[in-house]
Structure 1
Amino acid sequence: MKSLRLIFCALWTAAFVSGCGAYSFTGKSTLSSDVKTFTIRDITLSAPSSYATISQEMTEKLKEYYQRNTKLKLVPQNGDISIEGSIVDYRTDGVAASSGGDKAAMNRLTIVIEVVFTNKFNEEDNFEKDFSFYLDYPQNQTLQEAEKTLVPKILDQLVLNIFGDTVAKW
C-alpha cells in the first residue's frame, strides 16, 4: 500500500511539473522563439562627472551577461532585440548625519542609466526607461577610493535589472 501511494505521488508530481512547462524559475524562456540575435550599442555617457571608463564597462558587462545567460547571438547591428542607453546621472550625496550633525557619516553613490529596448518580434515589449542603483560608503573614504569597489557592484546590479526587464521579465 505504501509503494502504491509513493507511485501515485510520483505520477501526480510528474504530471503537475510537466503541466507547468511555460514557467521558468530563471525567467529565461519569455522571449519568442523567433528571437535569435541581440545588439547592444555602446552605452554613452552624458552625466557631467563620472568614473573614467564607466560607459565602456557597462557596455561590456551587458554583452557578457546576455551571452552567458541566453542562447542569443551577439550581432553588431540590427539584432532581433536591441539595447542602447546613456548614463545620465552619476552623483554622490550625503545620506546619514554624523554625531556632530554638520557632516555626513555616510555618502551614497548613485548611477542612473537611461535604456531604450527594442524587440522586433513583439513591439509591446519595447520601452524607454531609467534604471538606477546606489551603494553607500563611509565619509572617511574619498569618492575616488570608493569608486574602485562600488562602481563594478552598481553596474552588475544595473545589468541584472536591465536583463530582468528585457529578457527575463522578472
Structure 2
Amino acid sequence: MKKLLYFLFSIVTISTIIGCGAYSFSGGSTGNAETIQIDFFPNQAPLVEPTLSQNFTQTLQDLFTRQTNLTLVNSNGDLHFEGEITGYRITPMSATAQQTAAQNRLTITVNVRYTNKEKEKDNFEKQFSFYYDFPADQQLIGGTLETALEEILERITQDIFNASVANW
C-alpha cells in the first residue's frame, strides 16, 4: 500500500513539474520561445526627460530576464518588443482655496509593439500609461523625480509583461 501511494505521489509530482514547464513562477507563459529582443524605446514625447528612455528600456529588460527563463538577444528574438515613449506630461490635479494647484500628476505613456514568432495571434500594438501624484509645492527633480519614475516604470512594465506573456 505504501509503495502504491509513493508511486501515485511521484506521478502527480512529475506531471505537475512537466505540465508547468512552459510557465514561470510569476505566471508568465513563454511557450516554446527561448529568446527575447527588447529594442531601445526612444522618447518622442513633447516634453523630454533625458534619462527616461534608458531607464524604461532597462527596467523592461530586467523584468523579463528576472521573471522568465528567456535569453535577451539584440536581434531576431522569438519575442520582440519595440516602441516609443509618446507622453510625458505634468498636470495640476487639485486646487487650493487660493486657486493654485495643491497636487500635480506626472503621466507617462508608452506605445508598445509586441511580436511573438511562435504565436502570431498574440501580437499587439498598445499604449500603456501610468501616473504619479506629488505635492505642487515640490519640484519634479531629485528624489521626487526618482520616486515618480520608479513607481511609474514598474507599473507600466508589469502591465506590458501581463499583456504579453501572462495573457491578462
* Alignment-derived partner of residue 124 in structure 2: 127
Q: What runs of 5+ residues in structure 2 fail to find an aligned partner?
A: none
* SS of residue matched to 1:168: coil
Percentage of identical aligned residues: 40
TM (normalized to structure 2)? 0.83
Cα contact 1:55–1:87 (8 A) shared by 2: yes
CA distance in 1, matches of 2:115, 2:62: 19
Residue 87, structure 1, aligned to residue 88, structure 2: no
RMSD: 2.2
The answer to whether the 8 Å contact 1:109/1:135 transfers is yes
**Structure 1 residue ranges without an equivalent (≥5):** 1-6
Pick aligned residue for 1:118 from 115, 127, 135: 115
Query: Is the contact made by 2:24 and 2:67 (CA closer than 8 Å) also made in structure 1?
Result: no
The corresponding residue for 1:147 is 145
Partner residue in 2 for 1:31: 30
Shift, 1:165, TM fit: 0.6
Q: Is the 8 A contact 2:36 2:79 kept in 1?
A: yes
| TM-score of the superposed pair, with normalisation by structure 1 | 0.82
Could you tell me whether the CA contact under 8 Å between 2:102 and 2:136 is conserved in 1? yes
Q: Deviations over 1:86-109 (max 9, x none)?
A: 000000000111122x11110000
Give the SS at the match of 2:102: strand
